Structure 1
């Protein structure tokens, strides 16, 4: 069950402030890394919502990332829709695709669900890769960014753009946090814990799974619209299954079913990748080592381990505070009887 603890709120606030500061204080390369972290954090948040709380582990999540990017391109460059409106409209096919995937896969679980989502992602990838109207393997360049100069905001400024992406990630985090504390979120977690019991209570399992898949797909597609504007380019590589795998690793390393953990995992993996890439191209090896260690350590991930450690310290402190009272009662049993 998700609960917005003080620790989670503090870590979320700390990461948000750090992101805003970095957006204005870091150099150009630092801003690019910050945007990359924020985009992966968006993907990881949406996947944790689906896999961590809904129990639907997906290896095709990057497909929604690509759908959002390509939908934005089609609406702005082909249909002539203003970029800001195109961002909103691009979320419609993302939600629809997620909803349909949730409906189709509502009766499968475990490895069968994973393989179904992998097949879905590869279908979207191959369709885009072979479609010349969408640029094929070459992708599409010259993607426009939203224009907010009317209110004095220049989105072509790296600092402003990085800040906007951090704010967008923070808003998505708050939305998912609110959803998970609602009756829908509690029901979704209930389905994860015991689907048969929830079905016996008369709940529409198919509807809840479809809605969860649609919401997760929408958030991933939102990240895709931002990524298209960031690089001003989209390609089938956005929806490769390896991207889905990387995001899943971020969720596990950060802490599954914590919501803030995947953000920590995204920052950790991206920063580690760039640091190790200076010495070797085999950075995946080191990520794999960290993943194995995280699983063997209990599977809590970086944030999950921190949360467990704080809970352990709090419990010990509470026990020490109660010990004097127990000792007094033992020394003077008559006082206890009185």
Structure 2
């Protein structure tokens, strides 16, 4: 287990290094791709926290993502708050609303949980789609970014903003890694494996599920404020269930319940989407084939295949050394 954890840390480090190298060589379009990868990595890690660890698969996670974006726009564009204050308020408010929603949806399990989160997500989508104050189906523009010129960072520069998002994603990863290594994180893993056993041990299972849902919603809200600053425009599509489905595909593609797999899947899906669309108009077909191959391979996504390959290599190395010693 320790070896597997060390390997995952190496994969995370290589992914970060790869993004930084790409950033150093990128043009404007490259910076946009990096920003998209970093934002979706944060969102995917938040969904992996409840789906991959706590065993709660949500199809309404995008509603919390979009809610964070709209609350940020409400605070900064409509009410005229400073971006830093608006970002903090939107993130915390999304977390609080997630706590209220989580206290309701955790009453059910399995397919019923999926359906109720889907229904709540679509309610949010319809609300913002019809709300003319926030732009309705036309969306809302004129959103500002954080002002970090006081420390010499101009986030209006695409390169600076892309690097800023990479740093935020890395910090979120490290914080979640620390959380999952704590006793609280061990309980979340237990919720995924056998919630009835934890209930029999006297643990407040619903309280843990609700708190995990709230924490995931808070991180999703943070990702929403960042995507609003990235595009400088928001629309109700951020809340649509198809966005939740896309993020779920990311964590399945990268490796469910691994955390780094969520970031890996976000990078892989975003890059595949952009690269394949340049080659063929049927990019969705080929991406679907790739996803099917990964899933039917019997491993846990891309990370599962990487771990399988590393185990094969590490097992052969000692055999070669033993053969050399015997010959000597």
**In the alignment, which residue of structure 2 is the partner of 1:83?**
83
How many angstroms apart in 1 are the aligned matches of 2:164 and 2:2? 27
Equivalent residues in 2 for 1:7-22, closer than 5 Å: 7-22=7-22
User: Whose Rg is larger?
Assistant: 1
Query: Which moved further from structure 2: 68-77 or 101-110?
Result: 101-110
1:79-136 CA-partner distances (Å, limit 9, x unpaired): 2221112111111221122222221122322211111111111111001101111111
**In the alignment, which residue of structure 2 is the partner of 1:332?**
none
1:282-338 CA-partner distances (Å, limit 9, x unpaired): 32222221221112101411111111221243345457778999x9xxxxxxxxxxx
State the number of aligned residues.
Answer: 326
Matched residue SS, 2:278: coil
How many angstroms apart in 2 are the aligned matches of 1:232 and 1:253? 29
**In the alignment, which residue of structure 2 is the partner of 1:303?**
303
Question: Is there any run of 5+ residues in structure 1 with no aligned partner, and where?
Answer: 328-338
**In the alignment, which residue of structure 2 is the partner of 1:174?**
174
Matched residue SS, 1:31: helix
1:142-182 CA-partner distances (Å, limit 9, x unpaired): 00111111221111111100000000100111111011000
How many angstroms apart in 2 are the aligned matches of 1:219 and 1:292? 29
How many angstroms apart in 2 are the aligned matches of 1:284 and 1:246? 12
**In the alignment, which residue of structure 2 is the partner of 1:256?**
256
Alpha carbons of structure 1 residues 203 and 193: separation in structure 2 relative to 1, 3 Å: same
**In the alignment, which residue of structure 2 is the partner of 1:186?**
186
Answer whether contact 2:4 2:307 (CA < 8 A) is retained.
no
Tell me by how many angstroms 1:262 deviates.
1.5
Answer whether contact 1:106 1:205 (CA < 8 A) is retained.
no
**In the alignment, which residue of structure 2 is the partner of 1:289?**
289
How many angstroms apart in 2 are the aligned matches of 1:242 and 1:185? 29
**In the alignment, which residue of structure 1 is the partner of 2:240?**
240
**In the alignment, which residue of structure 2 is the partner of 1:225?**
225
Answer whether contact 2:59 2:117 (CA < 8 A) is retained.
yes
Matched, 1:272 2:266: no
**In the alignment, which residue of structure 2 is the partner of 1:62?**
62
Alpha carbons of structure 1 residues 139 and 299: separation in structure 2 relative to 1, 3 Å: same
**In the alignment, which residue of structure 2 is the partner of 1:128?**
128
Alpha carbons of structure 1 residues 25 and 221: separation in structure 2 relative to 1, 3 Å: same
Root mean square deviation of aligned Cα? 2.1
**In the alignment, which residue of structure 1 is the partner of 2:48?**
48
Question: Is there any run of 5+ residues in structure 2 with no aligned partner, and where?
Answer: none
Query: Which moved further from structure 2: 164-173 or 109-118?
Result: 109-118
How many angstroms apart in 2 are the aligned matches of 1:63 and 1:29? 27
How many angstroms apart in 2 are the aligned matches of 1:85 and 1:18? 32
Matched residue SS, 1:278: helix
